[in-house]
Amino acid sequence: MTAVWLLLGLVGLVLLLLLISLVRTLFIPSRRSEYVPAPDPARTSEYAEKLARMVRVETVSVPGENQREKFLSFHRELESLFPLVHQKLEKTEIDGNLLFFWKGKSSEKPLVLMSHQDVVPAEGEWSHAPFSGDIADGKVWGRGSSDTKCSVMAFFQAAEELLAAGYVPENDVYLSSSCTEEWAGDGCPKLVAELKRRGVRPWLVCDEGGGIISEPMGGIHGNFAMIGVFEKGKADVRFTARSSGGHASTPKPHSPIANLAAFVNDVETHRVFRRRLPKEVAAMFRTLAPYASFPMKWIFSNLWLFRPVLLQVLPMISAQAGAMIRTTIAFTMQSGSDACNVMPQEATVSANMRFIPHQGMEESLAIIEKRAKKHGLSMEVLQATDYTVSADLSGEAFRTVCRVVEETFPGCPHSPYVMTGATDARFFQEICDHVFRFAPVIYGPEQMKGMHGLNENIEISCLPGAVDFYKNLIKACI
């Protein structure tokens, strides 16, 4: 009888908590994102043409190759497009990487605006040639148009216009652009080393990564400024299985490929890494809650109650959101025998890992290595870097970025965001405490799909807003 009463009490408590959360949700006003770019035909046309000219200069970067001459060609195009920047700012070029110094009234709180020049290769059949820079259907088409020559164009143009108006920034400003970002090369580290040599410690760094995302999650409609406040660590790892080989007509059990397959299946079908809701992700959900459909609003507004459920279902709802709560591993490459009738003496599978702060590089690698050894595999870490420290969500620098978003994009909600990919921004963490990942352009589903894929493009209507954001950020750093 006691057990029955305990069960009834538990059911009653659950119902009470659900009722409390439901009432709380009903009192939260629903909101809509109302930001759309204001028409500005003259500026839109000018900026689109400048971006198109930048896209037409092919800047595919190749790991390990010296491609300085290629990027010097791109620099000459920049000099033609932004003459005042090149006349009035101090330019430093290091192996194709660029750093411009704009002397301000003070050196107390330097600002760094950055994005990369290089792009990934363009393969497959495109509706517009990948380096055509075509302007059609309200878009600039081509590799680099959205990732991320749009940002490079916007902050160079912002500086060009402020210089033309005779503006002198309150604090020093640096324009930084590496040419090795797409393969995590040494370009940005060289620029950071140069700043260290000069004794510069930036107050705020703004790189790519986040952006104005259309429909950041299913059921949440409109444009939202998603500001990346830290990024996950990453590693490339290779797992190897070995045997004595032999003829495929007399196969032995537990072949290298079978062992690898068992390992991959084990990792794919079991929960290998802990799930936890970082405070930055919790803040994102609370921010987005008023804009969500009612079921999502109910859950996001009451994380105190629904957190355990959310941690269970989030990876099934959204791969992007699921990656924000745990370390991930994706198997990407494999090798074995060179002939169908030969058992391999050695077979490998490679994977890309991304580390979350609550289970960082060292712990995550140890976990996956232990799992690999269970299947008789050895593991080799090809390269690895840990997660970056998050910017302070209550700090002055984050408030400054949010205020500039509000000023530049009226009606556009802003939210912290966890960068699950990797950017050059992580190299600046060594010398700056306030590093943000936010490209002030609109990325809809088409633009997200085109990044590193076919038919990359950017809507030209968002380009004036991008230029204005950088101008306003420069003015706000006082």
CATH of the domain at 338: 3.30.70.360
pLDDT tens for 29-39 read: 999 999 999 99
Residue 26 lies in a domain: no
Q: Which backbone phi and psi does 116 adopt, to 5 degrees?
A: -100, 155
Name residue 225's beta-bridge partners.
212, 414
Answer yes or no: do 417 and 301 share one domain: no
Q: Does the global pTM surpass 0.85?
A: yes
Q: Identify whether residues 191 and 249 lie together within a single domain.
A: no
Arithmetic mean of pLDDT, 51-64: 96
Mark whether 97 and 224 lie in a shared domain: yes
Whether the predicted pLDDT of 441 surpasses 70: yes
* Stretch 123-147: mean pLDDT: 96
Q: What is the DSSP letter of 431?
A: T
The domain boundary residue, chosen from 357, 382, 407: 382
Q: Are residues 300 and 436 in the same domain?
A: no
Indicate if 286 and 346 belong to the same structural domain.
Answer: no
Q: Is residue 84 part of a domain?
A: yes
Q: Please, what is the average pLDDT of the chain? A: 94
104 versus 296: the higher-pLDDT residue is 104
Report yes or no on 30 lying in a domain.
no
3-state helix, strand, coil in the chain (%, to 5): 40, 25, 35
Residue 22 in domain: no
**pLDDT given for residue 16 in this prediction:** 78
Give dist(CA 331, CA 353) in Å, integer. 9
Angle of CA points 282, 286, 291, to nearest 5°: 140
CA distance 447 to 450: 5
C-alpha separations of 125 from 118, 167, 446, 453 in Å = 21, 45, 16, 10
How confident is the model over 247-259, as a mean pLDDT?
84
Residues 93 and 178 occupy one common structural domain: yes
Helices (H), ranges, 244-317:
256-269, 279-288, 294-300, 303-317
Same domain? For 258 and 247 the reply is yes
Contacts of residue 253, defined as CB under 8 A and 6 or more positions apart, other chains included, come to none
pLDDT at 212: 97
pLDDT given for residue 7 in this prediction: 66
- The Cα 363–Cα 38 span in angstroms is 48
Q: Quick one: 313 and 358 in the same domain?
A: no
The residue among 347, 364, 382 that closes a domain is 382
Under the banding of pLDDT at 50, 70 and 90, the label for residue 73 is very high
Q: What pLDDT score does 9 carry?
A: 66
Residues making up the chain, counted from first to last: 478
Q: Return the pLDDT at 254.
A: 82
Tokens of 365: 């690698």
Sign of CA dihedral 333, 339, 340, 341: negative
| 169 and 302 belong to one structural domain | no
Q: What is the pLDDT of residue 8?
A: 63
Count, in order, helices (H) and strands (E) of the chain: 16, 17
Give the pLDDT of residue 315.
84
Which among 127, 156, 157, 123 is positioned nearest to 141, based on CA atoms? 127
Considering the domain architecture, whether residues 345 and 262 belong to the same structural domain is answered as: yes
The one-letter amino acid code at 160 reads E
Summarised one tens digit per residue, pLDDT across range 342-385 is 889 999 999 999 999 999 999 999 999 999 999 999 999 999 99
Residue 12: which pLDDT band, with cuts at 50, 70 and 90? confident
Residue 396 lies in a domain: yes
Q: What angle do CA 72, 134, 141 make, to 5 degrees?
A: 80
Whether 370 maps to a domain, the answer reads: yes
Q: Please tell me the predicted confidence (pLDDT) of residue 23.
A: 85
The answer to whether residue 314 scores a pLDDT higher than 80 is yes
Cis amide prior to 148 (ω within 30 degrees): yes
The residue written with tokens 């556009």 in the block is: 412
The mean per-residue pLDDT over the stretch 51-73 comes to 95
Say if 226 falls within a structural domain: yes
- The residue segments making up the domain with residue 341 are 233-267+327-382
SS3 229: strand
Number of domains, the chain: 3
> Two tokens at 408?
């530049």
Among 366, 382, 398, give the residue marking a domain's end: 382
- The residues near 182 (Cβ < 8 Å, ≥ 6 apart) are 61, 116, 118, 119, 120
What crossing angle do the helices spanning 463-476 and 41-55 adopt, rounded to 10°? Answer: 90
Number of C-beta neighbours around residue 420 at 10 A:
19
Examine the domain organization and report whether 357 and 457 are in the same domain.
Answer: no
Q: What is the pLDDT of residue 94?
A: 98
- For residue 5, name the pLDDT band (cuts at 50, 70, 90): low
CATH of residue 457's domain is 3.40.630.10
Domain contains 25: no
Q: On the CB side of 378, how many CA atoms lie within 13 Å of its CA?
A: 8
pLDDT exceeds cutoff 80 at 248 = no
pLDDT at 394 over 80: yes
Mean pLDDT to the nearest integer, 11-25 = 80
| 332-336 mean pLDDT | 93
Does one domain contain both 238 and 227? no
> What is the enclosing helix (H) or strand (E) of 152?
helix 149-164
Under DSSP, the state recorded for 88 is H
Q: Model confidence over 192-208: pLDDT tens digits?
A: 999 999 999 999 999 99
The tens digit of pLDDT for each residue in 150-195 reads: 999 999 999 999 999 999 999 999 999 999 999 999 999 999 999 9
Query: What residues contact 444, with CB distance under 8 A and at least 6 apart?
Result: 214, 215, 459
Query: What is the spatial distance between Cα 14 and Cα 233, in angstroms, rounded to a whole number?
Result: 38
